[in-house]
């Protein structure tokens, strides 16, 4: 395995930055939960074949299938359109957060997910037992810890299932927003985190077919995508010292975008190279690239919702 590094001088040309003068950029794309879970499940199943992570990928595919069933058969009971418009003018906190618009329906989703994983016992049995032994209040506290970024307070195995239930909840909330409400939330936002829920991005993705290849970050919780100019650090916004790492070839479907200013990195996926990729699955399928990038002295600034630290 060799690692290919694109130095600063050979970066993507300025015309590829996605700054399309005169045209209106879509600032963000709200999620379509059923489409996301269906596609992700299929991608996990496709890549599970002859994969050293086959068993884990099958577990993830099953979780996505359960999320799909939840959205289909137990959709969220809240309607947040009016509440969201009022909240957005009331304070500067994340519109979708543990403080705003959070009820306990996600706990029913957690129960549905863990009850649906009987095929994967006994491997995950201790985690399921531990979650089943917790009170609703204890689970609510663990959710609040995860939503506030205190990942070390939660066992990583339990975090996978709790986050999967929370994501199913918040992705449906985000899907209810109107483009106008979401755009107002985005305009006032100036941070590397999701403009709607303030969670970390999974990675960024260059859209297929968009003029000049626009790049969007995708949220690890609510799955919203928000616009981010290319050849610019998504963590500290610096543009002066960016390098790209890829495995084996320069025109790879996935690279790490590395910033020498903050020493952070995040993966960037290219739909024109591989239109079938899924940002969560393909991130897990390229962990060797993370390893090589971390060996070069960079730290990941994103979160994969199927792999907790
Ligand atoms: Zn979000
Ligand atoms: Zn940076």
277 alpha carbon – ligand 1 mean position (Å): 20
Q: Please give the Cα distance from 5 to 296 (Å, whole number).
A: 11
28 alpha carbon – ligand 2 mean position (Å): 22
The beta-strand segments (E) located in 8-151 are 28-29
CATH superfamily, domain 3-12+23-28+189-300, is FdhE-like domain (3.90.1670.10)
Predicted confidence (pLDDT) at residue 140 exceeds the cutoff of 50: yes
Average pLDDT, integer, range 25-49: 94
What is the rounded end-to-end Cα distance, in angstroms, of the chain? 25
Q: Does domain 33-182 have CATH number 3.90.1670.10?
A: yes
According to the model, what pLDDT value does residue 23 have? Answer: 57
Query: Is the peptide bond prior to 8 cis by the omega test (within 30 degrees of 0)?
Result: no
17 alpha carbon – ligand 1 mean position (Å): 24
Q: Please give the Cα distance from 51 to 269 (Å, whole number).
A: 20
Q: Residue 275: count other Cβ atoms within 10 Å of its Cβ.
A: 10
222 alpha carbon – ligand 1 mean position (Å): 4
Q: Are 164 and 113 in contact (CB under 8 A)?
A: yes
Q: Is it true that 3-12+23-28+189-300 and 33-182 share their CATH fold?
A: yes
Q: Which ligand is nearest to the CA of 198?
A: 1
Quick one: DSSP state of residue 304?
Answer: B
Which structure tokens are listed for 109?
A: 């989703």
Encode pLDDT of 54-105 as tens digits: 999 999 999 999 999 999 999 998 888 777 777 765 566 788 877 776 788 9
Quick one: DSSP state of residue 13?
Answer: P
Angle between helices 54-73 and 33-48 (to 10 degrees): 160
Q: Which ligand is nearest to the CA of 174?
A: 1
Cα dihedral sign for 247, 248, 250, 253? negative
201 alpha carbon – ligand 2 mean position (Å): 14
Domain positions in the chain are: 3-12+23-28+189-300, 33-182
Predicted confidence (pLDDT) at residue 198 exceeds the cutoff of 70: yes
Encode pLDDT of 280-295 as tens digits: 999 999 999 999 999 9
The continuous run of DSSP H or E covering 265 comes out as strand 264-270
292 alpha carbon – ligand 1 mean position (Å): 28
User: Residue 165: pLDDT band by 50, 70, 90 thresholds?
Assistant: very high
Predicted confidence (pLDDT) at residue 134 exceeds the cutoff of 50: yes
123 alpha carbon – ligand 1 mean position (Å): 31
Average pLDDT, integer, range 163-174: 96
187 alpha carbon – ligand 2 mean position (Å): 21
The least confident of 110-124, 174-188, 201-215 is 174-188
Predicted confidence (pLDDT) at residue 128 exceeds the cutoff of 50: yes
């Amino acid at each position: 395995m060799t690692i290919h590094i694109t130095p600063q001088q050979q970066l993507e040309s300025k015309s590829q930055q996605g700054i399309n003068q005169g045209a209106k950029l879509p600032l963000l794309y709200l999620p379509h939960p059923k489409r996301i879970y269906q596609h992700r499940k299929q991608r996990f199943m496709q890549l599970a074949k002859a994969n050293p992570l086959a068993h884990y990928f099958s577990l993830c595919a099953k979780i996505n299938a359960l999320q799909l069933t939840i959205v289909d058969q137990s959709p969220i009971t809240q309607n947040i359109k009016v509440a969201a418009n009022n909240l957005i003018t009331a304070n500067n906190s994340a519109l979708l957060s543990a403080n705003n618009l959070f009820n306990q329906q996600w706990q029913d989703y957690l129960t549905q997910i863990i009850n649906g994983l009987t095929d994967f016992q006994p491997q995950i049995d201790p985690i399921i037992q531990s979650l089943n032994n917790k009170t609703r209040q204890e689970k609510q506290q663990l959710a609040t810890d995860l939503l506030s970024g205190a990942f070390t307070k939660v066992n990583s195995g339990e975090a996978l299932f709790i986050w999967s239930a929370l994501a199913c909840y918040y992705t449906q909330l985000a899907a209810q927003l109107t483009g106008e409400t979401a755009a107002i939330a985005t305009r006032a936002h100036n941070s590397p985190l999701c403009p709607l829920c303030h969670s970390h991005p999974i990675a960024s993705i260059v859209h297929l077919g968009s003029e000049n290849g626009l790049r969007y970050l995708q949220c690890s919780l609510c799955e919203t995508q928000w616009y981010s100019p290319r050849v610019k650090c998504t963590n500290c916004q610096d543009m002066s010292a960016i390098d790209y790492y890829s495995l084996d070839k320069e025109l790879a479907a996935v690279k790490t975008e590395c910033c020498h200013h903050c020493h952070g990195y995040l993966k960037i996926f290219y739909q024109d190279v591989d239109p079938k990729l899924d940002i969560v699955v393909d991130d897990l399928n390229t962990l060797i690239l993370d390893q090589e990038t971390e060996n070069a002295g960079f730290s990941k600034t994103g979160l994969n919702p199927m792999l907790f630290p």
